[in-house]
Amino acid sequence: MNILEIIEKKRDNQELSKEEIEYFIKGYTSGEIADYQVSALIMAIYLNGMTKQETTDLTIAMAHSGEMLDLSVLNEVIVDKHSTGGVGDKVSLILLPLVASLGIPVAKMSGRGLGFTGGTVDKLESIPGYITGIDIPEFIKNVEKIGISMISQTLNLAPADKKIYSLRDSISCVESIPLIASSIMSKKIASGAQKIVLDVTCGSGAFMTTKENAEELAREMIEIGKLANKETVCVLTNMDEPLGYAIGNSLEVIEAINFLKGDMLEDVKEVVLELGAYMIKLAGKGNDIEDNKAQLLENIQNRKGYDKLIQLVENQGGDSSYTKDTDKFPKANYIEKVYSNQEGYIKSMDAKEIGKIVCDLGAGRIRKEDSIDNEVGIVLHKKVSEKVEKQEEVATIYANSKEKLEEAKKRLQEIIQIDENAVSKPKMVLEIIQ
Ligand code: URA
């Protein structure tokens, strides 16, 4: 067996065997197979797809490419949450401390930004001092001590996914059902959670732009979950416009903190409560979804969720004076408003295009080795369906270069579409698949 034969086979749209998939995953993880060869194979998978069997084999091979975490030492049902990616998606920053504040342990490994979407690890690292790269024994110790730990995917957990994930990002091969399903489920299988709640985003700012594709991805992941004996629930959510108002690392952290202090944006609230209610259900702490939502709301009102976030930040080396006083977060050098050029109702704000603008401002990576700028981004002042007057502020841009600011202003102005007729408010939770 050799990698050229495997590339050739997939290029010619033939099914790969379990042995061939294991061979390429082992070889790539150990460094024997080069990036450029795997790039070619990934592109062939992207173009030709994979059968269900191939996707399952790829998932299992990636999950076993490194350490398999055993969370049974925690003696509790561990429910994991993962999103298929979005723009302005700060749900984990809000939801996970909130769920932990209800006494449900959270052991979460998050990813970095991918393509035009943001990543929780990049957002957490915008809190000065917060360490995401801790080892497994400390990760488990943290969960035992305060009931929550949020870290980055360690080098030895599904390392094949880690390499393939950033390779896909750098060769425009992210939006593929078998590649996304295997990437997410391999991490979930390796990270030891017994149950999984997945936020399957759908719309222009998601990797799945249609509901049909999002449903297919959801079903594929549920199927893999069954085979791995991990109960999986998928919540399909709307990602046509950015989630919440803020897009950009520290700007989103500030929005998440304000949410936990009680300033709940409607669209974020809908998504957080639905996902949280299913996490509580899978943890065996409440079967009634509406009651579970009420429990989550109560821990926002009594600030227990916020207190848990502060505890998490402090426990992982972060400076909680920033989370207590968000004015302390460093500000971008150029902060300018964008105004509407007509009166009417916001018809659309393409999340993908906004994600790209924010990425180009410096909040995301073009190449995998790029560093990111935590201060830059966009804060919207209006959402789809809201009324605007002519020359009313619709967004604020945070930039660290004059040229990038001007470019972003121009692009954003074109993206925000206004209609003279009333526009209905989009529904956020589209479907639950289990
Ligand atoms: N999130 C992941 O973990 N992997 C993907 O491929 C896409 C989103």
Give pLDDT tens digits for 86-126.
Answer: 999 999 999 999 999 999 999 999 988 877 778 899 999 99
How far apart CA 108 and CA 149 sit, in angstroms, is 6
| Strand, coil or helix: 429 | strand
Ligand 1 midpoint to CA 165 (Å): 7
Q: Which of 180, 200, 217 to mutate to test the pocket of ligand 1 (most atoms within 8 A of CB)?
A: 180
CA 166 – ligand 1 centroid, Å? 10
pLDDT, position 368: 66
Which of 299, 205, 287, 244 minimizes the C-alpha distance to 91?
244
- Please give the distance, rounded to the nearest whole angstrom, from the Cα atom of residue 326 to the centre of ligand 1: 30
Q: Which residues pair with 388 in a beta bridge?
A: 344
With a Cβ cut-off of 6 Å, ligand 1 is lined by 84-85, 111, 114, 165, 179-180, 183-184
Which residue CA neighbors atom 2 of ligand 1 most closely?
184
Q: What is the pLDDT of residues 315-352, one digit of tens each?
A: 999 999 999 999 999 999 999 999 999 999 999 999 99
pLDDT digits (tens, 9 = 90+) for 167-185: 998 898 988 999 999 999 9
Please state the atom number of ligand 1 nearest to the C-alpha of residue 184.
Answer: 3
Span 295-319, average pLDDT: 98
Q: What's the confidence (pLDDT) of residue 113?
A: 81
Task: Say what the pLDDT of residue 117 is.
Answer: 79
Distance from the first to the final alpha carbon of the chain = 39
Distance 430 CA to ligand 1 centre (A): 20
Task: Indicate if the pLDDT at residue 62 is higher than 80.
Answer: yes
Q: Which atom of ligand 1 lies nearest, measured to the CA of 180?
A: 6
CA trace torsion 409, 415, 419, 422 (10° rounding): -100
Specify the pLDDT at position 73: 86
Q: What is the pLDDT of residue 388?
A: 97
* Residues taking part in catalysis: 82, 161, 168, 183, 187
Is the whole model's pTM more than 0.85, yes or no? yes
Report which protein residue has its CA nearest ligand 1's atom 8.
84
> What is the DSSP annotation of 325-364?
-GGGSPPPSEEEEEE-SSSEEEEEE-HHHHHHHHIIIIIS
Task: Tell which one of 58, 114, 191, 209 to mutate to probe ligand 1, the residue whose CB is within 8 A of the most ligand atoms.
Answer: 114
- Assign 57 a pLDDT band (cuts: 50, 70, 90): very high
CB 385 within 8 A of CB 426: yes
Handedness of CA 48, 111, 432, 382 (dihedral sign): negative
Determine which residue's CA is closest to atom 6 belonging to ligand 1: 180
What's the gap in Å between 352 CA and the centre of ligand 1?
Answer: 16
Sheet containing strand 429-433, strands side by side: 79-83, 195-202, 231-238, 429-433
Instruction: Check whether 155 has a pLDDT greater than 70.
Output: no
pLDDT beyond 90 at 163: yes
Asked if the model's pLDDT at residue 367 lies above 80, the reply is no
- What are the pLDDT digits (tens) for 226-262? 998 999 999 999 999 999 999 999 999 999 999 999 9
For residues 240 and 434, the answer to whether their CB atoms sit within 8 Å is no
Look at ligand 1, atom 1, and give the residue with the nearest C-alpha.
Answer: 84
| Domains and their CATH numbers in the chain | 3-49 (1.20.970.10), 72-155+167-324 (3.40.1030.10), 332-419 (3.90.1170.30)
pLDDT digits (tens, 9 = 90+) for 268-296: 999 999 999 999 999 999 999 999 999 99
CA of 74 to the centre of ligand 1 (A): 26
- Mean pLDDT, to the nearest integer, of 385-393? 97
Which pLDDT belongs to residue 115? 72
Residues 5-33: tens digit of each pLDDT: 999 999 999 999 999 999 999 999 999 99
Residue 34: which residues within 8 A CB-CB, separation 6 or more? none
Strand pairing category for 377-380 and 246-247: antiparallel
The number of helix segments (H) and strand segments (E) in the chain equals 17, 13
Q: Which two tokens stand for residue 416?
A: 């925000």
CA of 174, closest atom in ligand 1: 6
